[in-house]
Amino acid sequence: MLSRRNVVLTALIGAAALMLSTTMTWVSAEGLGETSSVSTVSVSGSEAADTVAAMGLVGLAGALAVTIAGRTGRRIIAGLLVIAAAMALYTSVGALIDPAGAAETVVGEFTGTTTTAQNYQLGFGAWIAAAGAVLMLGSSAALLSVGHRWPDRKASKKYSRSGAEDTAEPDEYDLWDSLSEGDDLTERS
């Protein structure tokens, strides 16, 4: 079932995977040539794709905002999450398809030239980023498709728009609001 909790948890897991992947190795370049002081360079996700961490932050913020947003807010957040997930997926799949292109800047810093390495190997980080982006994209698509059916969170009566008091039994939020206003709840009959 596509409940609010499941969608939010999926988005949080995807966003956390994106952020975690930027600390991992995406590409290892070997055989850098005679101009380099090292023979192997490991390229982290933050070096290969600096936008992935930012899209992970957007995902975290969006997933948390869904928990308190109304219907219109959830649609806006879903749109932003789709864009963030698509950008992260594009970047991570680009590194999976062309590891030499993802490592080009870092290899150039070590060699001092524009020559490429002899061998490139994909690290686990690029795969984690792609999986995280897919999770985030899936959760944002679910949010777009079923988010409008979820009920809005109950607002406190203290901040409600209607001037009339509700005659229903007060819940714990109303009791805390009454305490904040200075009411003595022990004197109620």
- The domains of the chain are located at 4-153, 157-189
The tens digit of pLDDT for each residue in 40-86 reads: 787 888 888 889 999 999 999 999 998 888 888 889 999 999 999 99
Two tokens at 83?
């864009």
Give the position of tokens 């948890």: 9
Look at strands 40-44 and 119-122 and give their pairing.
unpaired
DSSP summary character for residue 10: H
The tens digit of pLDDT for each residue in 73-109 reads: 889 999 999 999 999 999 999 889 988 887 777 777 7
Which of 16-25, 119-128, 145-154 shows the highest mean pLDDT?
16-25
DSSP summary character for residue 158: G
User: 3.30.70, 2.30.30, 1.20.1300, 1.20.140: which CATH number matches 4-153?
Assistant: 1.20.140
**Mean per-residue pLDDT, 106-135:** 82
- H/E stretch holding 86 reads helix 71-97
pLDDT band at 26 (very low <50, low <70, confident <90, very high): confident
Cβ burial, residue 164 (10 Å; 0-12/13-18/19+): exposed
Q: What is the dihedral of CA 61, 67, 71, 77, to 10 degrees?
A: 10
Angle at 65 between CA 63 and CA 70, to 5 degrees: 120
**Mean per-residue pLDDT, 160-178:** 63
Two tokens at 187?
């004197």
What are the beta bridge partners of residue 29? 41, 120
pLDDT at 170 over 90: no
Question: Are 136 and 88 spatial neighbours (Cβ–Cβ below 8 Å)?
Answer: yes
Number of H helices, E strands in the chain: 7, 3
Question: Are 43 and 106 spatial neighbours (Cβ–Cβ below 8 Å)?
Answer: yes
